[in-house]
Structure 1
Amino acid sequence: MTVTWRHLPAPAREIAVAASAAVAAAGARNAGAYEPAVDRLAAADRAGLVLGGVVRLLLEETHPDGLDGDDVRQVLEGCVREVAPWHADVDPHVLLVLLASSLGVYDPGDDEAAPGPAAIARHAPLLVAHLLAVTGRPLESYLTAAFAEVARTELHD
């Protein structure tokens, strides 16, 4: 099933289309399709915010009793092991920042050494694809929920 995302404003639609392509390429372990997809994602403003929401939703679903340090380590190690054979540039530190940020225990805005938007765009789809494999559900439902959460937050700020 292909989702057009026509109901979203143009900037959000660009994030949704780019994220869908990048996560699909990551899930298929297709390095040739992954690179242009993450380049497009990196150019989309606020893509990291949306993908962080997707990661949080996936973590909540895959760990309904909460996460501890061992759970975070298992997710991180599992993702790196799965990705490294086809994407040698995977950086475990960036994945850890993504995990910690999505859980609200780390604010990369306060850290000069934090990975930038391009690094986030290159790694978030890897983590999302890894977590999606556990749920068996399509990315679209998580993206829709993440967009709704961003909209709610912006409305109340």
Structure 2
Amino acid sequence: MAATDAVAAARNRDAGAYEPAVDRLAGADRSGLVLGGVVRLLLEETHPDGLDGDDVRQVLERCVRGAAPWRPEVDPHVLLVLLASALGVYDPGADDAPPDPAEVARHAPLLVADLLAATGRPLEGYLTTAFAEVARTELHD
């Protein structure tokens, strides 16, 4: 699966494996929704009392600092949009278009890998839960 491969490459900081995985991820249906669900689940687990602005800043800074040495084109703004979207608080203004699927695919695995490192747990359980939530939401829409 593209998401698993991309997150594994991000965790290993393997640029050679990362590019083809994110290319596949960008073409996958609902990958942004699923990875956004994984981010939300991880944020809830790592911050059980909720997040404040300082917590979001710390997550963002840690992710950017961890990714920048091997992904110098990492865009903090895209990561911030992904965080805000996962938390359900992203509201793009007139001048702020949301990132395209390719940008989401290039950045979401970085964020997921960073948050997974904080939990020490594997991705699979989070993916299963996120897929189920997306399917449930689509069923009720």
Scaled by the length of structure 2, the TM-score of the pair is: 0.96
Q: Does 1:25 align with 2:9?
A: yes
Match for residue 30 of structure 2? Answer: 46
Write the letter of the residue equivalent to 1:129: A
Structure 2 counterpart of 1:114, from 94, 98, 106: 98
Q: Aligned pairs, how many?
A: 141
Unaligned runs of 5+ in 1: 1-16
Unaligned runs of 5+ in 2: none
In the TM superposition, 1:66-85 aligns within 5 A as 66-85=50-69
* Root-mean-square deviation (Å): 1.4
Scaled by the length of structure 1, the TM-score of the pair is: 0.86
Whole-Å Cα distance in 2 between the matches of residues 80 and 52 of structure 1?
Answer: 17
Match for residue 133 of structure 1? Answer: 117
Whole-Å Cα distance in 1 between the matches of residues 93 and 31 of structure 2?
Answer: 15
Residues 3-43 of structure 1: CA deviation (Å, up to 9, x unaligned): xxxxxxxxxxxxxx000000000000001110000000001
Whole-Å Cα distance in 2 between the matches of residues 59 and 47 of structure 1?
Answer: 18
Q: Which runs of 4+ in 1 moved over 4 A?
A: 107-112
- Shift of residue 108, structure 1, vs aligned partner: 5.1
- Shift of residue 154, structure 1, vs aligned partner: 1.4
Residues 64-105 of structure 1: CA deviation (Å, up to 9, x unaligned): 000000000000000000000011110000000000000000
